């Protein structure tokens, strides 16, 4: 009994307060489809007040965006913005070993919850960085801005970053550099993302001849669709081979090739109130949907022509469920003072960073398309990549070390 009490008191005493803030933030239900944005906003505003940081809630996009500011010595200089999305993807409760919104911490210090990696860790690490910078006697040279935005997990569209970057309030922030989420790294190194692949979701519809299922009907919708699907899957194979069977010295990563996945297939006439299919009527229409991710080095206009060529046969058409005609990256050359500073800061603390193209899509793409440099960097190493996965976790020591890593980078960027 006494042993248990002493153990509990010891754990309590040794728990870093930032871990408690992190766990409380994880417990706020910002999972889709009904994220509690008022709950996360109230929480963030309370923390800003407690830390003496200026904060406002911008509601111009239709959902709350929390903006925090620490004024620099020269507020006219472009600022450093730390952006986090506050929403998280849903969790399949039965597939988790603990309640995915309990922020349960085990004896090793592993904290299990939806959002531990994606990206409530980074949101609270940014907040703790702001607290530490605010406590310093000397102001940084540039303004530090923190933005906490909704709806990244549903594509940033609607009320999220895609709309916010078009607003005057965003322009007024005068952002020189944005830091947003990256990915965990399973080994000792850390990954920094300087660009992303453009997500194109293509929906192909085929129409064709109908008739009795016992005959050789020609020009059917399914036959046309299959020809296109096969051409597109051949392209997928070619890209797969470039990634996996290329020369080892070319060192291609997932972000460097185009992926194409057939994610939607639809044909056949429903029968019996939708509980069964009809098998002897050739369907007039068939559809296929593809998730295509295109690296920023690919010419998007030329790729569009490729899709047109794949779907050129009479009776085929396509629409986009998601499309962009711009995909800017942040150039990592000598002229990029932010990058030089970021690299030097990492070198000083002896951590190895590996620059890569982010394989999926984050809010950074909207920032880069406005001509603003952005790095995707989550200071998490030696941790499996578990974003959107069951039993997503982060160790508390990794979380605390991440604050330290950011504290060795962000003040340098602010003083550039």
| Catalytically active residues, by annotation | 87, 152
Measured CA to CA, the distance from residue 382 to residue 398 in angstroms comes to 9
**110 annotated ligand-binding residue:** no
- Of 362 and 395, the one with the shorter C-beta distance to ligand AME is 362
Tokens of 199: 């997500």
* Residue 208 interacts with, from ligand AME, Zn ion, none (CB under 5-8 Å by kind): none
DSSP labels for 355-402? EEEESS--THHHHHTTT--EEE-----SS---TTSTT-EEEHHHHHHH
Q: Which does 160 bind (CB under 5 to 8 A by kind): ligand AME, Zn ion, none?
A: none
212 is in an annotated binding site: no
Q: Least distance in Å: CB of 129 to ligand AME?
A: 22
Residue 221 engages Zn ion in binding (rule: CB under 5 A): no
Preceding peptide of 14 cis, ω within 30°? no
Helix (H, G, I), strand (E, B) or coil at 137: coil
CA–CA separation, 380 and 146 (whole Å):
20
179, 411 in Cβ contact below 8 A?
no
Q: In this structure, is the dihedral angle defined by the CA atoms of residues 63, 380, 394 and 103, taken in order, positive or negative?
A: negative
Q: Is 118 in the site for Zn ion (CB under 5 A)?
A: yes
Residue 388 among known ligand-binding residues = yes
Site membership for Zn ion, residue 68 (CB under 5 A): no
CB of 334 to ligand AME, least distance (A): 30
φ, ψ of residue 13 in degrees (nearest 5)? -65, -40
The interface partner of residue 360, options being Zn ion, ligand AME, none and the CB cut-off 5 to 8 Å by kind, is ligand AME
237 annotated to bind ligand: no
Binding Zn ion by CB under 5 A: which of 80, 81, 119, 183? 119
* Residue 85 assigned to a binding site: yes
Shortest gap between Cβ of 89 and ligand AME (angstroms)? 8
Residues near ligand AME, by CB under 6 A: 155, 199, 322, 360-362
Q: Which is nearer to ligand AME, 24 or 253 (CB)?
A: 253
Cα distance between residue 186 and residue 215, in whole Å: 55
Q: Which does 147 bind (CB under 5 to 8 A by kind): ligand AME, Zn ion, none?
A: none
Phi, psi of 335 (to 5 degrees): -75, -15
Q: Of the candidates 408, 398, 414, which has an alpha carbon nearest to the alpha carbon of residue 18?
A: 398
Partner whose footprint covers residue 119, from Zn ion, ligand AME, none (CB < 5 to 8 Å by kind): Zn ion
Contact 406, 126 (CB under 8 A): yes
Q: In angstroms, what is the minimal distance from the CB of 118 to ligand AME?
A: 7
Measured from the CB of residue 95, what is the shortest distance to ligand AME in angstroms? 18
User: Where does this chain bind Zn ion (CB under 5 A)?
Assistant: 118-119, 181
Residue ranges of the binding site for Zn(2+): 85, 118, 153, 181, 388
């Amino acid at each position: 009994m006494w042993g248990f009490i002493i153990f509990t008191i010891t754990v309590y005493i040794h728990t870093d307060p930032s871990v408690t803030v992190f766990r409380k933030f994880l417990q706020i239900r910002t999972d889709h489809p009904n994220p509690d944005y008022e709950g996360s906003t109230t929480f963030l505003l309370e923390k800003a007040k407690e830390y003496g940081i200026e904060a406002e809630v911008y509601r111009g996009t239709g959902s709350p965006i929390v903006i925090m500011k620490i004024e620099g010595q020269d507020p006219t200089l472009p600022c450093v913005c730390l952006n986090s999305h506050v929403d998280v993807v849903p969790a399949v409760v039965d597939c988790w070993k603990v309640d995915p919104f309990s922020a349960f911490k085990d004896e090793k210090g592993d904290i299990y919850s939806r959002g531990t990696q994606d990206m409530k860790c980074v949101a609270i690490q940014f907040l703790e960085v702001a607290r530490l910078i605010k406590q310093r006697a000397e102001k940084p040279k540039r303004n530090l801005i923190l933005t906490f935005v909704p709806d990244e997990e549903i594509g940033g569209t609607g009320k999220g970053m895609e709309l916010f970057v078009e607003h005057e309030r965003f322009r007024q922030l005068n952002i020189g550099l944005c830091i947003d989420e990256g990915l965990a790294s399973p080994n000792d190194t850390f990954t920094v993302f300087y660009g992303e692949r453009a997500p194109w979701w293509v929906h192909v519809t085929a129409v064709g001849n109908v008739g009795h299922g016992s005959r050789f009907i020609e020009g059917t919708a399914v036959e046309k669709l299959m020809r296109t699907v096969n051409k597109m899957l051949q392209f997928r194979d070619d890209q797969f081979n470039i990634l996996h069977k290329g020369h080892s010295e070319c060192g291609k990563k997932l972000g460097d090739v185009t992926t194409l996945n057939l994610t939607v297939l639809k044909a056949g006439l429903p029968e019996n109130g939708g509980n069964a299919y009809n098998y002897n009527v050739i369907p007039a229409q068939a559809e296929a949907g593809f998730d295509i991710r295109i690296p920023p080095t690919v010419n998007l206009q030329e790729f569009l022509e490729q899709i047109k060529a794949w779907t050129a046969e009479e009776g085929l058409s396509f629409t986009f469920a998601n499309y962009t005609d711009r995909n800017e990256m942040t150039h990592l050359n000598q002229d990029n003072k932010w990058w030089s500073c970021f690299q030097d800061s990492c070198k000083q603390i002896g951590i190895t960073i590996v620059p890569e193209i982010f394989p999926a899509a984050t809010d950074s793409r909207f920032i880069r398309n406005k001509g603003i440099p952005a790095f995707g960097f989550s200071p998490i190493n030696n941790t499996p990549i578990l974003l959107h996965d069951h039993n997503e976790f982060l160790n508390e020591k990794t979380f605390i070390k991440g604050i330290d890593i950011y504290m060795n980078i962000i003040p340098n960027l602010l003083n550039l």
